[in-house]
Amino acid sequence: MTKIRMRRPALALSAIAATALLAAACSSGGGSAQTSSGSAAAGSSRYGGTLTFYDPVQYQDWVTTDSLWSVSNVADNIGERLLWQDPKTGKLEPWLAASWSISPNHLVYTFHLKPNIKFTDGTALTAQVVKDNFDQHGYGDKALGIPVDQFWNGYAGTTVINPLTFQIKLSVPDAGFLQVLSNYRASSILAESYIKRNLAGQSQIQNWVGTGPFEYAGGDGVNEVILKRNPHYTSWPTGSAHTGLAYLSEIIFRYVPEESTRIGALQSGQAQIVRNLSPTDEATVSSFGGQLESFPVEGETNALAVQIKPGLITDDKQVRLALQAATNRTEINQVALSPNYGIPIGPLVKGTPDAPNLSSYLTYDSSKAEQLLNADGWKVGAGGYRYKNGQELHFDIWVAPFYQVSEPVLEVLQSDWQKVGVSLSIHSVSLDEYEAIEAAGGVGNEKFSFSQGQTSTADPNVLRVDYDTTRGNGLGQNPADPDKTLNELVDNQATIFNPTARAAAIKAIGVYLYQQGYSIPLYDETQVFGLASTVHGFETESTARAWLYDTWLS
């Protein structure tokens, strides 16, 4: 039973009404689940039970701004945000905020909190707590070792009006700002006991105190995390399938690296959800009666960010364009992936707001690649590989351990590039080793010429977060000598509130990226979950992180 969630494109944020009113009922009863998983009839939902969730990536780096897949699937169910972005429509709905308004110049955002919401330590959610959270995101805190959040642009402070009302001020307009306030890694609001801790303290799951449907109950935070139902939960998002407490009594998140073990546990009933199935095991899950749920991850497509640094071969534009032409994305999809994964059409995953169709820049053309390399002086030599001035056209690449499909995808890429005389060596290391190698720019003579990855948030502003040299600096440029055109393009789109004009600005970014050969898309990032037949009501938020409030077990 395969379900591919084809989410409708999200609404342009500039088209969202300036004021939204709370519409959620305040009943604390159960209600009926609008089932999306399994075939149970509405009205048969039940409370209780322990759900075990297996993940192939170890848990670490519990700071709110971390986006590690394993961590974010847990954190999403503890910390909540002011706004909920409906994953099907893209509409921003009330969550911790009951209503909000925006000044005509888009510089002042006034929010009114829902009343009587408490953190799981019993303290109240107030405007002051929100301010303290956002000040850390927008300003950082040097004394505590907290860096500025790259998603926050032009933050000019939060002013408390009364215990439930506050104003956020920006120094420059930001068309994507409302969506930032719905983002799990940019705006989760946690209790003062967490905010007052230093970076080391904030990096431990044991210190997370939120308002969400679940709370931390055990586990070392590395190999296992146990959550229990929040018995005082009152802040479900507008549009939830039910109101009141979460159905599940307990959730056990467990790191299990061996895929055969994860699949065996799902088949035996030891686990009820397995994240990030490999394409080869999708059919296995279906064969024993399990469910497959596939969710495209709105935001950037999974791509190789080419590192633009003096001394690297990738600093050569003609080589970058040749590698782009030598990459066969259809073959990657057919050989290494499955139909659950989209073939890239541009820098943003299909369904992300204003995602442009730039497929013409991504056409596989090995003849073009060969022509570009020949004209650039790279001639075929020993072993069929190319050389220039005695240097082999060779690259090293490290398997990104956050992505289950990284290695088979890179193996197809290795084969494609070999056909035009490009040598690619693939290295597989642990997550800690990978991060150290990335930070060091390689190992010895093996240089880090490509960074495989994607940043996920359901707004095109994600391109600024990644490519602006003052933010993610995904191309590894020298901040003192950046590509000023790219910086201007990614910054300019955030100041445009006319939907048509903003879409054009986003397209211009994609065109420039591909004209310069800065990004080599591989596939549309997708999360494929295996579910036991007993799991119902399983959903994710807009970037495919598990939201287990409506999930229940039969």
Distance in Å from the first CA to the final CA of the chain: 17
At 423-441, the pLDDT tens digits run: 999 999 998 899 899 888 8
Cβ contacts of 540 within 8 Å, gap of 6 or more: 87, 295, 527, 546, 547
Cα-Cα-Cα-Cα torsion 264, 270, 272, 277, nearest 10 degrees, comes to -20
Instruction: Name the band, by pLDDT with cuts 50, 70 and 90, for residue 30.
Output: very low
Q: Quote the pLDDT of residue 461.
A: 93
Q: What is the identity of the amino acid at 356?
A: P
Cβ–Cβ under 8 Å, residues 551 and 536? yes
Q: Quote the pLDDT of residue 223.
A: 97
Q: Quote the pLDDT of residue 15.
A: 35
CA dihedral sign, ordered 139, 144, 145, 146: negative
Q: Quote the pLDDT of residue 28.
A: 30
User: What DSSP character marks residue 190?
Assistant: -
Q: What number is the average pLDDT over the span 12-28?
A: 33
Rounded Cα distance, 437 and 434, in Å: 5
Q: Quote the pLDDT of residue 44.
A: 86
Q: Is 206 left (phi over 0), alpha (psi -120 to 50) or beta?
A: alpha
- Residue with structure tokens 């009666």? 289
The answer, yes or no, to whether residue 7 has pLDDT greater than 60, is no
Give 477-520 as a 3 state SS string. CCCCCCCHHHHHHHHHHHHCCCHHHHHHHHHHHHHHHHHHCCEE
Q: What number is the average pLDDT over the span 481-506?
A: 95
CATH of domain 302-524: 3.10.105.10
Q: Tell me which long-range contacts 363-368 makes (C-beta under 8 A, separation of at least 24).
A: 363/325, 364/325, 364/326, 364/327, 364/328, 364/329, 364/330, 364/331, 364/416, 365/325, 366/325, 366/326, 366/416, 366/419, 366/420, 368/322, 368/325
The answer, yes or no, to whether residue 31 has pLDDT greater than 50, is no
Instruction: Name the band, by pLDDT with cuts 50, 70 and 90, for residue 472.
Output: confident
At 297-345, the pLDDT tens digits run: 999 999 999 999 999 999 999 999 999 999 999 999 999 999 999 999 9
The answer, yes or no, to whether residue 274 has pLDDT greater than 80, is yes
Average model confidence (pLDDT) across the chain: 90
Instruction: Name the band, by pLDDT with cuts 50, 70 and 90, for residue 89.
Output: confident
User: What DSSP character marks residue 10?
Assistant: P
Whole-prediction pTM: 0.85
Tokens describing residue 112: 């009114």
Tell me the sheet residues that pair with 303: 453, 521
Rounded Cα distance, 257 and 246, in Å: 29
Does the domain formed by 2-296+527-553 have CATH 3.30.450.40? no
At 180-210, the pLDDT tens digits run: 999 988 999 999 999 999 999 999 999 999 9
Residue extents of the structural domains in the chain:
2-296+527-553, 302-524
At 98-139, the pLDDT tens digits run: 999 999 999 999 999 999 999 999 999 999 999 999 999 999
Percent of the chain with pLDDT over 90: 80
Rounded Cα distance, 369 and 318, in Å: 9
- Of the candidate ranges 66-80, 211-225, 502-516, the one whose mean pLDDT is the lowest: 66-80
CA of 187: how far to CAs of 48, 75, 139, 177, 291, in Å? 30, 12, 13, 11, 32
Q: Quote the pLDDT of residue 88.
A: 86
Q: What number is the average pLDDT over the span 57-69?
A: 86
Q: Quote the pLDDT of residue 435.
A: 87
Q: Quote the pLDDT of residue 10.
A: 36
At 364-388, the pLDDT tens digits run: 999 999 999 999 999 999 899 999 9
Q: Is 71 helix (H, G, I), strand (E, B) or coil?
A: helix
At 152-179, the pLDDT tens digits run: 989 999 999 999 999 999 999 999 999 9
- Can you spell out the DSSP letters for 397-413? EE--TT-TTHHHHHHHH
At 440-451, the pLDDT tens digits run: 888 888 888 998
Rounded Cα distance, 191 and 308, in Å: 41
Rounded Cα distance, 267 and 397, in Å: 35
The answer, yes or no, to whether residue 78 has pLDDT greater than 60, is yes
Q: What is the identity of the amino acid at 432?
A: D
Task: Report the range out of 22-26, 36-40, 279-283, 394-398 with the highest average pLDDT.
Answer: 394-398
Instruction: Name the band, by pLDDT with cuts 50, 70 and 90, for residue 43.
Output: low
The answer, yes or no, to whether residue 12 has pLDDT greater than 60, is no
- Can you spell out the DSSP letters for 257-277? --HHHHHHHHHHTS-SEE-S-
Nearest CA to 417 out of 372, 458, 456 is that of: 372
